[in-house]
Each structure stands twice: as structure tokens, then as C-alpha cells.
Structure 1
Amino acid sequence: MKSSNRYIANRLKPEIEKLLAGTELELFDVVMKSEKGMKILRVSVDTEAGAGIEDVTEATTIISDFLDENDDIIKFRYDLEVSTPGLERPLRNEKDFKRFMGKKCKIMTVDKDASGRQSYTGKIDKVEDNSVTLFVEKENAYFNISIENISKANLVIEFD
């Protein structure tokens, strides 16, 4: 069942990207899940300024209308959930890191550094040549991390 879920999500991604192309919305992710006997199609959208409730409502309408008109894509009962990536959104590529320059994030690496470290939390200082430079305030130190070596990265909410 998981492979059919992945197949549906992969089939829908380019379709949803086309649907959103005429708007300020951009597709962040599409996932088809099975939870407690229910099928759920989860779509995450964002905008350059950060998506709000109006954006989610617009995306829900666009995607729902498309799926209703193309009911042969998903041939079983499911729920559609449209949301934003959230405040602690994942950072997946160089574009994401550039977009959130100066923001605090947590990065987990695939490989350990010379001291055995794999976790860094700091502000994105620089992004270039497929690497991220993070300033870790607690240590007053900069760490340069190759994007290829990042296993997981997400924004961290700061409370002043």
C-alpha cells in the first residue's frame, strides 16, 4: 500500500505545481498517508512571504476542484488536508537556506565532525557553493556545513 501512496503523491506533485503556477502559492510537499484505516492526502503550500489562512483556503479550493474533476487519479475514499510547512519548517535545499538567511535553525549531519558532533543550532550566516555557514552564538563560532552532509534541518522558533 505504501508504494501506491507514493505513486499517487508523485503523480499529483507536477499537477498541483501547474495548478498553483498562476498564484503566489508554491507547493512544498505532497504526501498520501494511511492512518487509522483512513487515507489522507496531505498537501503543504507556502508563499515567499509565508502562507496564511487565506493562502491555505485558496490552495484547498484549487486542489479540491481539480481532484473532483479528475476523480480517476485517486480511486478510493480519502481526506484532503492542506496546510503550511509550519513555523519550524524543514529546510531542504540551498534555496530554502538562502530564503531564511539570518534565521535560527537546527541542522543534523550525516557524518560526524572531527569532535564527533552531528548537531548544530545557530543562525544561518551564509549560503554559497552548496554549503551553509551557521553561527552558533553559545560557542561564538561559525560552522561550515555541506548541504550534501545535512540529514535533517529545520527552522527553530525564537522567543524574545
Structure 2
Amino acid sequence: MSTTQSERLRELLEPLVSSQGLDLEEIEVDSVGRKRVLRVVVDSDEGADLDAVADVSRALSAKLDETDAMGQGEYTLEVGTPGAERELREHRHYVRAVERLVKFQLTDGDELVARIIAVDDEGTDVEVPGVKGRRPTARRLAFEDIAKARVQIEFNRKDKKAETAETADTADTDMKEEEEEA
């Protein structure tokens, strides 16, 4: 049984990434001229902040230096996160995308843009935005009916935590104004 370099690297690096509290999402080895580039994508349910990425990058670099997993030639190690428009491939990716707007390519060829509301083992409940004043509609998508899914960037999306804090701030301001008037 033959294994690819990416598979061998995954076996070597995944336990190390997991020990840092992160998930190893992707490994890619590319050739750029005479150099090779090893790209490692990590994430977690809480997201991977810059410090966590730096820590895992140092740990991966040390592990690669002590083994010959990348061979004798020069290579560059790049460690990052999936980015804003991440593709959803595994169940945990869908769970992490709850409340996010996602573009779905369905197996029947249809395309759908909807917000993920809930995820279970069989699929996801989504809310399709209303068009021209119509109300949003709920829809159930089975994982087997999804060919591809990618998170969409929303520039005007309000974070639920920020929205809750903003509502509380507004309520506090309203109460203070009422007290001053009394």
C-alpha cells in the first residue's frame, strides 16, 4: 500500500496539532521553482487566534526539523487558518458555521444561499433569505444532497454577541434618560 507525502505528513503532524488544541484541516505540498512549500491549515471550534497559530507553527517546524519528512531539499512552512470563505467538508465545519451565510451547490445541480440554523448527524436546517419583502423560509438539507458548501463573507453582518451587548447598552441608556427626566 502506497501513501502520498501528504498522508505521511498528516500522520506525523496531526497528533502534534491536536496536542495544541487544534484540528488539522488541510496539508498541501507545492513546488515553487526549486523550493517546496508546505501549507498547513489548522482550526478549532473557538477559532485559532494568531498566538495559537504561531505556537503550532513553531512546534511543527521543530518536528519537521528532527525528521526527514520533507526530505533534504529546502522548503517553506506556512501555517494558517481556513479563512473567511472556508469550504465546509466535514460535520464539524458545518457546526462551526451555524449562524453563517453559506452558498450550497446541491447534487441535483441547484445552487442555494442560506443561513445555517442547526446541524445534526444527517444534515442541516437552513433559513433561505426572503426576496423582495418576502419572509425567510426554513429548509432542511441532507448532507448527501450537498455537493459543495462555502461560507460567504458578510460585511454588514452583526455578531450575535455584539448585537446582545448593543441591545443591553441601549436599554441602559434609555433607563438613564428616563431617570434624568424624572
Per the shorter chain, which TM-score range? 0.7 to 0.9
Q: Give the secondary-structure state (helix, strand or coil) at the position aligned to 1:54.
A: helix
- Structure number with bigger Rg: 2
**CA 1:87–1:79: 2 relative to 1, 3 Å:** same
Are 2:133 and 1:154 aligned? Answer: no
Write 1 or 2 for the structure with the bigger share of strand: 1
Decide which moves more: 52-61 or 134-143. Answer: 134-143
How high is the TM-score relative to the length of structure 2? 0.74
Are 2:39 and 1:47 aligned? Answer: no
Are 2:81 and 1:84 aligned? Answer: yes
Which residue of structure 2 aligns with residue 145 of structure 1?
Answer: 141
Q: Give the secondary-structure state (helix, strand or coil) at the position aligned to 2:19.
A: coil
Q: 1:67 deviation in Å?
A: 0.4
Write 1 or 2 for the structure with the bigger share of helix: 2
Q: Which runs of 5+ in 2 are unaligned?
A: 157-182
Q: After TM superposition, what 4+ stretches of structure 1 lie above 6 angstroms from structure 2?
A: none
1:24-39 aligned at under 5 Å gives the runs: 24-39=21-36
RMSD: 2.0
CA contact (8 A) 2:22 2:44 kept: yes
CA contact (8 A) 1:93 1:147 kept: no
Which residue of structure 2 aligns with residue 17 of structure 1?
Answer: 14
Q: Give the secondary-structure state (helix, strand or coil) at the position aligned to 1:138.
A: coil
How high is the TM-score relative to the length of structure 1? 0.83
Decide which moves more: 92-101 or 40-49. Answer: 92-101
**CA 1:32–1:135: 2 relative to 1, 3 Å:** same
Q: Which runs of 5+ in 1 are unaligned?
A: 113-117
1:35-114 aligned at under 5 Å gives the runs: 35-70=32-67, 72-75=68-71, 76-112=73-109
